[in-house]
């Protein structure tokens, strides 16, 4: 078995994801250093760069699966006219770093338009600004108080249900520069997170959510696989870019989470949140 980092059409929900349907996904949220480009042919390409990030997924694959990926990427060992070259590079996940294979552009015509955010799926979504997307709210955005104050409730009218993501935990890894206290995040290290799933216009992202979440520096938009109404779907959410040691959230922020959760999320899950925040207060001695 070998590790492979994928950043384009091999990701979940993308056109070539079927090639990895039997492979073990080691991380849904991960990144490596590089620059990402839209080739103009319906798929992306990357080049190496130490100063930028590319986001994708990490899989453990067999040699046979790796051969199929080589065929897809037009990569053959020893050939001098490959479309992509397969190299090894360090990939970073919430659980740590791994060495993995990935494919970089081998032809100049692939490197056309830079994708600033480093995420192919986000890039494609924003191109279709008249479409709708499922949005997973797990923290203070579950409460509609600030939606009302900001005059954006019309974007969040269609709540389709309660979503559950597995292999994640709710944590407070974002230290606010305003008060030095924690803000919510989901961390891919086992567990279970519940939240509200809305169907929102794609334009909501740039017109409201990116600003509220401080994207792309504080939080970044990403995609998670979750269960809602008995179906497995992909939804957009936000995670902390540079995770820090957990810090207790301010009381008002904690209450926003409970206000949004009560009557929707399970009693057991709400109890788990309260217990975790209580433990943070005990650790930090602030209550």
Instruction: Give the DSSP letter of residue 156.
Output: G
Q: How far apart are CA 197 and CA 156, in angstroms?
A: 10
Closest CA to 13 of 235, 263, 279: 235
C-beta of residue 83 within 8 angstroms of C-beta of residue 71: no
Complete DSSP assignment for 212-246: HHTTTTSEEEEEEEEEETTEEEEEEEEEESS--S-
Region at 83 (left for phi over 0; alpha for psi -120 to 50; beta for the rest)? alpha
Closest CA to 38 of 100, 99, 98, 125: 125
Q: How far apart are CA 86 and CA 70, in angstroms?
A: 8
Q: 6 pairs with which residues across the strands?
A: 57
Q: State the catalytic residues.
A: 213
Helix (H, G, I), strand (E, B) or coil at 90: strand
Instruction: Centre a 10 Å sphere on the Cβ of residue 77 and count the other Cβ atoms it contains.
Output: 8
């Amino acid at each position: 078995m070998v590790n492979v980092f994928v950043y384009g059409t091999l990701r979940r929900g993308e056109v070539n994801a079927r090639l990895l349907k039997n492979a073990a996904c080691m991380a849904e949220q991960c990144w490596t250093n590089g620059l990402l480009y839209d080739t103009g042919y319906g798929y992306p390409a990357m080049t190496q760069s130490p100063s930028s990030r590319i986001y994708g997924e990490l899989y453990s694959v067999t040699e046979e699966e790796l051969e199929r990926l080589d065929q897809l990427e037009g990569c053959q060992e020893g050939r001098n006219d490959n479309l992509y070259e397969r190299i090894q590079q360090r990939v970073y996940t919430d659980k740590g770093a791994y060495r993995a294979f990935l494919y970089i552009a081998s032809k100049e015509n692939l490197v056309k338009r830079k994708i600033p955010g480093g995420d192919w799926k986000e890039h494609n979504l924003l191109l279709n600004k008249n479409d709708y997307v499922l949005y997973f709210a797990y923290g203070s955005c579950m409460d509609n108080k600030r939606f009302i104050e900001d005059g954006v409730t019309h974007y969040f009218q269609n709540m389709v249900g309660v979503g559950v993501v597995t292999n994640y935990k709710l944590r407070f890894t974002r230290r606010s520069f305003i008060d030095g206290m924690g803000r919510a995040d989901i961390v891919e290290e086992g567990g279970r997170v519940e939240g509200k799933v809305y169907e929102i216009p794609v334009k909501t992202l740039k017109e409201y959510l990116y600003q509220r979440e401080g994207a792309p520096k504080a939080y970044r938009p990403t995609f998670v696989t979750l269960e809602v109404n008995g179906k497995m779907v992909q939804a957009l959410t936000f995670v902390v870019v540079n995770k820090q040691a957990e810090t207790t959230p301010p009381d008002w922020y904690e209450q926003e989470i409970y206000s949004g959760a009560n009557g929707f999320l399970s009693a057991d899950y709400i109890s788990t949140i309260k217990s975790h925040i209580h433990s943070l207060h005990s650790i930090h001695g602030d209550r």
